[in-house]
Copies of this chain bind each other. A is one copy, B any other.
């Protein structure tokens, strides 16, 4: 069984490395989630358990890759950014792309029961992924601004659409027609006048999406601080966020924060978790 005779086929592999000193963004997107959420009867316009499941799958990605120090997601998508200076897998694009996506995908299924204890997963969903490089901090911030602006636009629309369908009894086609071409202001008014909804009072997780940041906390009995991942639902377009978390753009050490001030966090090192 002359292995060597066939081994030449290895040299058809082509390496594709991410340009050095650029931020590496991986964005994953649910494949055909319209159908997935329908079959699994997700709440409309937003299913809080579905969103938290997405975030927890993303947390698993951050647990695996310590060089990711920021992630942002909403609906069926999540973006992860690796430090500019990362040398993970020698910056090989295929490796980075496939592993981020695989951890996310398998975690989504693995964690299903935690968020939907009474709902059976009918089939395993899939996510596609792409990799994008950003040379400057401003490009990176603009990327996240783009994604968060998208949350706003989509969620305002969806809030209107589903109110019209679920509360006013319009057909999807009628709801779509009614909303076509309307400005934000008109949508806000429609919600207020017809459904007594003040859009700005809607939960921030729906309006802003979920940001994951990495911090350290001290731990009773632990000899050294532990790394944790914190979900936030805040604006990431303005300077505030970036000034409050300077370690993200600085690529500096993960800062220590006061555990008592945290509502909610995920510990990085779980027993048996580390692959």
Contact = CB atoms under 8 A, between A and B. Distances in A.
Report copies per complex.
4
A132 B12 contact: yes
Interface string A92-131: 0011011101111111111100000000011111111111
Contact of A126 (B6, B36, B64, B132): B64
Contacts of A99: 31, 126-128
Interface string A145-171: 110011011000000000000000000
A9 B105 contact: no
Interface in A6-28: 6-17, 19-22, 28
Contacts of A109: 106, 109-110, 124
A35 interface: yes
A272 B125 CA distance: 11
A3 interface: yes
A102 B123 contact: no
A265 interface: no
B105 A142 contact: no
A135 to B, nearest CB: 3
Nearest to A151: B1
A161 B35 CA distance: 48
A32 to B, nearest CB: 5
A6 B108 contact: no
Interface residues of A, number: 74
A60 interface: yes
A260 interface: no
A6 B95 contact: no
A199 interface: no
25 contacts: A6-B145, A8-B142, A9-B134, A12-B20, A12-B21, A12-B133, A14-B133, A19-B19, A19-B135, A21-B139, A31-B99, A98-B128, A98-B129, A99-B128, A101-B102, A102-B104, A103-B105, A103-B126, A105-B105, A105-B106, A106-B125, A107-B124, A110-B121, A123-B272, A123-B273
Interface of A: 1-3, 5-17, 19-22, 28, 31-32, 35-36, 39, 60, 64, 94-95, 97-99, 101-111, 121-136, 139, 142-143, 145-146, 149-150, 152-153, 184, 237, 272-273, 275
Given A6-B149, A11-B20, A98-B98, 5 more contacts: A1-B237, A14-B17, A36-B275, A101-B105, A102-B127
